[in-house]
Chain A
Amino acid sequence: MTTLNPAQMDEIAARHPAVFHRSFWQRFRVAIIAGGFVLYALYCWWFFAIGHVLGTANWNIAGTYLADWVSYEVRPEVTIDPDGAMKLTYPRFSPLGPNAEPDWVEIERGTMTRTTPSAGAATDTAQKPASMGFMGTGGTIGGSATAANAMATATTREEEVVKRAKITLNSSTSVEVVPERVTVQHSGETLLVEIAGSDMTVEGVLPAWATQKAPGEKITLSFGVAGWGEIEADDISIRKRFFGWANFLFDTNSPFHGKPLSEVFSLVTSGERIDPKQSNLSLAWDNILYNAEWQHLDVWTKLLQTIVMAFVGTLFAMLLAFPLAFLAARNITRSWISNQVTKRLFDFLRSVDMLIWALFFTRAFGPGPLAGMSAIFFTDTGTLGKLYSEALENIDDKQREGVKSVGAAPAAVQRFGVLPQVMPLFASQALYFWESNTRSATIIGAVGAGGIGLKLWEAMRTNSDWENVAYMVLLILIVVFVFDGISNALRSRLMGKPAH
């Protein structure tokens, strides 16, 4: 490899002055554009108050919400009455259903003599669980006599209560509760909390996974992915996290709830009728469709609405844009007025945002797919009309002239001279819009124009149904990918070459 000496370099530089003497803009444009971007980013940082928003954001919640997408919590709660009687309850809508006795909760029961105070002297702590047990007896274990608590007079009686409860979260994590003491074990460390009446004291120092704001106050335990818990003197609540979607097929009211799939299968195929009015198969199918937590039928209906909105909207837009485009193309309709009128109409339809149309049609038709459909129809008539008229203006005139020269009628000239050239392009563009509208129909649904958008929005607003959001997102992704594939395959066949 030969190297150039300085004289040769100068010579080359002298021969090509344009290469070595570049203008200010040419030399510094990268720096200027990059600087512009940085300045703009700083401006936006200030304009959107990004630093402030990020600082005040609740990132802990983000983790929980994300975890909720693919997992759920079961919440056993141990309450300790002042006289030392313990009770284990689950919330009303526990994923385990009423009267659940999961194997990760060990319970030792025993009897004890209790003096039930009269209603007037009842303390809050005793009254609250008692009335809860009375209202929703389903969720109570070991408190079978709680109904009696609500009786007014002070009585002394033998009651069956929980003596010891041990909740196992995973192989290294467990919480054991006896009336005087809570023992928490997690990753080899042990936390002992002594409970005496309404006071509690921690023995030794708190491990890193437990926090307490002040002595005697509530202790928060965090076990990572296994769950978390809270210890108070009279109330120990544990959240155990399970991976997956709870009760995806059958909700807790269904007779099939909690049964393994093989058992459900044998019940459906050969079991005795659970409900004498219908076969087990149709009962199971009904239970799945009307699952209270997942609302499968409703979700599918809404998803179908979204698909239908995109399909009908795009199809009608194509049907209307097709004839109008012939009026708008100046080489086909030789009238300045009709060209301008149709072109401005297209511009208007396109520029009024799909959102505005969606809001207006929601007022006209009420919430539902008709509104979304009309919004897509109006917007896309404009867009497709513009594209179609541009395609028509770019056609090859030779074919038209050939057809005209043999004396064809005007309609025949369009049919045989123009259509064969543009039809594949028209269909391909309509397919492309069908596909992209399937995506965008989700979002106009959220403003009330029907479809899955609104359902998604409602599920998110409560901040507790993220698993339903995940389910719907999954369905949407599947639909979008399938339609992408269909549209790409059709388009590449129409255009004779791969569309991508």
Chain B
Amino acid sequence: MAMNTLHDGFSEKGALIERHWQELNARRRLYTWLGLAILAMALTGSLWFANETNAGKFFDRLPHLFDFVGDMVPRDGLEVFRALFDLPSPYDDGSFKYNYPEGRLYITESLYVPEYFHKMLETLNIAIFSTVIGMVFGFLLCFLAAKNLVANRLLRGFVRRFMEILRAFPEVVLAGFFLAILSLGPLPAVIAVSIHTVGALGKLFFEVVENADMKAEEGLRAVGASWVERVWFGIVPQVLPNFMSYFLLRLEINVRASTIIGAVGGGGIGELLRLSIGQGHQAKTLAIVLLLLITIIAVDQFSAWLRRRLVGDHAFRLAQ
């Protein structure tokens, strides 16, 4: 159907409306094309800039795109399991590449935890512990930021800005700062991830609180309950399932975050992965990647299952 010409058979008013509609349509199309053109220009400029400032040029390095597959092909298939469970390798020549048993963490004389499982546990613990800390402080702060509970705009605004800063503050700086003070170890990672989590969970929490049903709170107010009692008995019971759901969602994100923080010096499996890729230890790399993949999928599935039980099918908004 041609849009730009008027067909015969319109009444006078009909023609007016038709013409107006066509004008609107043309303007809308112009805006769409303009928007797309700006986007295309931004994209071209960005790509050019990225290519210029990169160490290797895109088209020179493109054939190497799938080099990482080669980084993960071990000498023979069983090497992966030897690396994963710290079993001695038949290729052991004293180099770091095949020294799997050295990382064993002995619990008793003969019983040991393989290195990667121990480090994975450390990363998981960083994630869980910092999510718990974030949840506790986010829980305490969120009620002060909710419009329906705190009438004082100044306090509310202050708490919200505070949480925004916690959320936007680069984790890598927090980790680096505490690494300088506390020396190497997982604690800087815990602090960095926790601080970020307080901000992120606090924001999600106070949005839940603002959407809560205020009838229970009103009833408590009518019988003279204090602010704390109103919040504890009127608001908390209805928001708790949602809070738990966000807690689990955050846990998924934090498992990834603590892996990354680990890679920049915060301990855990991330550091081992970075070293092993850098040194070209294929079997070790593949073992760590497999372990990470399995752990992340397991955590995601567990959290999805639990969230569905807690709040039903609405729980699948991904948020940060």
Contacts and interface: CB of A to CB of B under 8 A. Distances in A.
B58 A365 contact: yes
B274 A447 contact: yes
Contacts of B55: 365-368
Interface in A361-406: 361, 363-371, 373, 383, 387, 390
Contacts of B61: 364-366, 370
A208 interface: no
Contacts of A476: 168, 170
Contacts of A47: 122, 125
B119 to A, nearest CB: 12
Contacts, number: 190
Given A383-B318, A447-B260, A457-B172, A57 B181 contact: yes
A110 B257 CA distance: 64
Nearest to B61: A365
Contact of A311 (B42, B64, B173): B42
B182 A443 contact: no
B297 interface: yes
Nearest to B48: A308
A61 B180 contact: yes
Contacts of B122: 47
B71 A360 contact: yes
Contacts of B125: 44, 47-48
Which of the listed residues B58, B129, B169, B297 has the most CB atoms from chain A within 10 Å of its own CB? B129
Interface stretch (B22-30, B95-103, B109-117, B183-191): B183-191
Nearest to A36: B132
A356 B69 CA distance: 12
B270 interface: yes
A473 B173 CA distance: 8
A439 interface: yes
Contacts of A61: 180-181
B141 interface: no
B238 interface: no
Interface in B256-285: 256-257, 259-261, 263-264, 270, 273-274, 277
Main secondary structure of the interface of A (DSSP, over half): helix
A351 B170 contact: no
Interface in B33-90: 39, 42-43, 46-47, 49-51, 53-56, 58, 61, 64-68, 71
Interface in A437-488: 439, 442-447, 450, 453, 456-457, 460-461, 463, 469, 473, 476-477, 480-481, 484
A304 B71 contact: no
Interface in B275-315: 277, 289, 292-293, 296-297, 300
A111 interface: no
A58 interface: yes
B227 to A, nearest CB: 19
B168 A481 contact: yes
Contact of B173 (A304, A353, A354, A460): A460
B132 A37 contact: yes
B18 interface: no
Nearest to A373: B50
Contacts of A480: 168
Interface residues of B, number: 67
A308 B49 contact: yes
A105 interface: no
B106 interface: no
A357 to B, nearest CB: 9
B172 A453 contact: yes
B165 A359 contact: no
Which of the listed residues A53, A436, A484 has the most CB atoms from chain B within 10 Å of its own CB? A53
A57 B42 contact: no
Nearest to A37: B132
A49 B43 CA distance: 48
B217 interface: no
B138 interface: no
B148 interface: no
Given A40-B132, A312-B43, A473-B170, A355 B58 contact: no
Given A48-B187, A443-B260, A363 B67 contact: yes
Interface of A: 37, 40-41, 44, 47-50, 53-54, 56-59, 61-62, 65, 301, 304-305, 308-309, 311-312, 315, 347, 351-356, 359-361, 363-371, 373, 383, 387, 390, 436, 439, 442-447, 450, 453, 456-457, 460-461, 463, 469, 473, 476-477, 480-481, 484, 500
Given A447-B264, A450-B54, 5 more contacts: A40-B129, A369-B54, A446-B264, A457-B176, A500-B207
8 contacts: A359-B263, A359-B273, A360-B71, A361-B65, A364-B61, A369-B50, A453-B170, A461-B176
Interface of B: 39, 42-43, 46-47, 49-51, 53-56, 58, 61, 64-68, 71, 122, 125, 128-129, 132, 136, 164-165, 167-173, 176-177, 179-183, 185-187, 190, 207, 256-257, 259-261, 263-264, 270, 273-274, 277, 289, 292-293, 296-297, 300, 316, 318, 320
